[in-house]
Amino acid sequence: MEDRGEGEEPAAGLHFVGMKEDLIKAKRSFRTLEGRDILVLYHQEMFYALDFHCYHAGGPLQNGDIEEFDGKLCIVCPKHKYKISLAEGESIYRATNPYDPVPTTRWYSKGIKQRVHTVTETDGDVYVTLSHMSRFIESDYFQGEKGKAERERM
């Protein structure tokens, strides 16, 4: 990424979300970018950005614990304890299939349910580029009328 001189605007699509040191101190920061509510997280020396409202029922992800499950770092929604991977927005759950010959408890994936965004850093400035993956992702529902209308069409 190119350096940003004083007074220069960042490249198109990049949204400045704060100074690295401030975001590290805050650990969890709320931002609205292009009308979309985003949670910027700092955890174990990494930044993540994902839709602010949980895809399941709009729960407050900013208050969720972060734990590793099945080798994936996840945020646990405080509302109903759904586990969402920080890197991909994948929802995972642990269950036992009673139809297995030897039923054992294991992890399953529901697929990508929470939209995640790209975080980059240049000289202490942190930027988010919104995901423009065109398909509907469940967390879109909680990002205004357009998301609601898309779900109705499905």
Binding site for ligand FES (CB under 6 A): 54, 56-59, 77, 79-80, 82
C-alpha of 120 from chain center: 15
In 3D, which of 136, 134, 115, 123 has the Cα closest to residue 48?
Answer: 115
Nearer to ligand FES, 25 or 93 (CB): 93
CB of 17 to ligand FES, least distance (A): 23
CB of 15 to ligand FES, least distance (A): 25
Amino acid type, 140 = D
How far apart CA 49 and CA 7 sit, in angstroms, is: 25
CB of 64 to ligand FES, least distance (A): 8
Q: Give all strands (DSSP E) within 52-115, no chain letters.
A: 65-69, 72-76, 83-85, 90-96, 105-112
CB of 111 to ligand FES, least distance (A): 15
Question: Can you read off the two tokens belonging to residue 139?
Answer: 């967390």
